[in-house]
Copies of this chain bind each other. A is one copy, B any other.
Amino acid sequence: MGPDTTDRGETIAVTLEAERTLRDEDLTGLAELAAQLRVDAIRCTTMAGSGHPTSSLSAADLLAVLVARHLRYDWSYPGNPGNDHLILSKGHASPLLYAVFRATGAISEQELLETYRRSGSRLQGHPTPVLPWVDVATGSLGQGLPVGVGVALGAQYLDRSPAHVWVLCGDSEMAEGSIWEALDKAGHYGLRALTAIVDVNRLGQRGPTELEWDLDSYRRRVEAFGCRAIVVDGHDLGAIDDAYGQAREATGPTVVLARTVKGRGVPEIENDPSWHGKALDPELADRAVRALGGPRRIRVAGPKPPAAPRADPVEHRRPELPRWSRGAKVATRDAYGDALRALGAVRPDVVALDGEVSDSTRADRFADAYPDRFFQMFIAEQQLAAAAVGLAVRGRRPFAATFAAFWSRAYDFIRMAGVSRADITLVGSHAGVEIGPDGPSQMGLEDIAALRAVPGSTVLCPADAVSCAALVAQLPDRPGVSYLRTTRGAYPVLYDDGEEFPVGGSRVVRDGGDVALLGTGVTVHVCLAAADELTREGIDARVVDLYSIKPVDRDRLLEAVRDTGGRLVVVEDHYPEGGLGSAVLEELADLGAPARVRHLAVRGLPGSGTPTQQLDRAGIGVHAVVSAARALA
């Protein structure tokens, strides 16, 4: 396909932002473009035999106007920091998004029609950043907008860039609380860089949405949450254009509430609740495409951002990490706060986020030093994770912290961050029964299991301040989702300043050949105390600090199996399922290294008590480790 040839001879005029008035010929061109998007969305889903054409048809006019008139985007250089962002929060409308990509020339008609939803294709059922024009994976509803808030925070507050963030939402996803977390933060931060476009097509998957076409209720909600609402007919190209123009010029966040018709353009299935997530059969598709005027070869250029040179990679100085004396008692959450502050001094790309517990996680130490790079998300963990993802889209290295337990609130966002391959670090403090009297609601006891099961993730749990700081220093350059679990309580520093703690490594804290005690975080200290006691019984116990849980140090595991005749005790302050024990067992199975493993974990439901009482009651205290080791040795 040549860039300027079209079947019907039209080209959409590139109408620059500065030109405010829409001419009649522009409207014709926009209508043609919208028709092409509809035709392509129908064709690609029918050829794939699945997908969501009707949810694409309702929003075709919304995206046609956006891409031709308002989205400033250099399609040949998706990394241009001046580019606007287009986030498809209603990810199931991927046929529409891909039809847009085809109209811009980013992908070919052939790729669209022949590979959509096929094995090995980058045009997956829901968009992911395997496509260079896609910032984040969507498809779990209610996530695109919270991520957009993070992108807008980065563009507006950090980069002071004119880049605008356009998020296309479905109306069904307005029922997700995360949408309201996002609008609340958009209002709180006055995010003029953000426009949400809601495709109110009245119909969800299995029938009418809760509010159907009650645009006024949507408007009241949006306004109550501190955003400007503009209600438009989502098929009136001029009205859409006007709304986008107002949104771009607004002094705060805008929500364009567009009343649309699901299936618009195919009268046989318009506004029909039985038509969700189904491809048209070839005959119906053919009829529909013909009624829409047939396939077109329109190429849209749209407005461009200012030209930007490709950025050279930056060499960062090594941080001056804080120093601690061996044996001094330091909580790893304190080491985290101090190390992050030190990192902030040499890494302007490092930013921090809080879920209203920064005095506990010690993120406040970064906040005090670098208030401009610190974002308070209040108690909204979904938005906390999503903002981190959004800031990563803008090239930042976000560290977001809350209690380990409360990351479970954002688990779907973390899962999707894994699919997006977002480079973010999540920090969970107050993990395990070690926290003491607060009770199980505050104890992260499933965090390791949950975070390990995120694709491409890294899971770390240092036992002392030195190793914690060394790991923190590496995390900005670690790809994917990294999770760092810190302790509430203070424990002796085990290592000397300046030692290396590579991700995927481990440490033998104490040598011994009768049995190996494998711990992580607080349980390393439990293992050390147990080893002392075992020595008195004549049992020579090795203690291994598995600070890296994923990836786990397979060489060290093999060595421990070999040196102890396969006698291992694994101790973790976590439920028995999916944590350190599983990591060790899975690795040993893969290695084909048979071992006799005693696995100590929190098997009952904890209550209140002091940290020591809690460890003992949970069966992961010194006495339990000694007994387990004795039974093996």
Interfacial residues, chain A to chain B (CB-CB below 8 A)? 48, 50-51, 91, 117-126, 128, 130, 137-142, 172-173, 175-181, 184, 188, 204-206, 209-210, 217, 220-221, 223-226, 354, 356-360, 364, 378-383, 405-406, 408-409, 411-412, 415-416, 418-419, 421, 436-442, 445-446, 449-450, 452-456, 550, 575-579, 581-583, 585-586, 589-590, 592, 594-599, 604-605, 607-610, 613-614, 617
Contacts and interface: CB of A to CB of B under 8 A. Distances in A.
Contact of A411 (B356, B358, B450, B595): B450
A336 to B, nearest CB: 16
Contact of A409 (B50, B137, B204, B412): B412
Contact of A415 (B130, B209, B405, B614): B405
A632 to B, nearest CB: 10
Contacts of A142: 379
Given A126-B439, A206-B354, A416-B441, 13 more contacts: A118-B609, A125-B438, A126-B442, A175-B380, A177-B181, A177-B380, A184-B210, A206-B357, A206-B358, A411-B450, A415-B446, A440-B455, A446-B454
A379 B211 CA distance: 12
A437 B48 contact: yes
6 contacts: A130-B607, A176-B380, A177-B180, A406-B412, A452-B578, A582-B582
A218 to B, nearest CB: 9
Contact of A449 (B130, B141, B450): B450
A409 B411 contact: yes
Contact of A608 (B121, B175, B379, B613): B121
A599 B589 contact: yes
A589 B595 CA distance: 8
A440 B205 CA distance: 19
As for how many copies of this chain the complex holds, the number is 2
A608 B139 contact: no
Contact of A582 (B378, B455, B585, B607): B585
A122 B439 CA distance: 10
B210 A221 contact: no
A177 B382 CA distance: 8
A365 B440 CA distance: 37
A455 B607 contact: no
Contacts of A575: 453, 455
Nearest to A179: B177
A266 to B, nearest CB: 21
A308 B408 CA distance: 39
Nearest to A358: B206
Contact of A450 (B205, B220, B442, B453): B453
A228 to B, nearest CB: 14
A356 B446 contact: no
B188 A181 contact: no
A578 B453 contact: yes
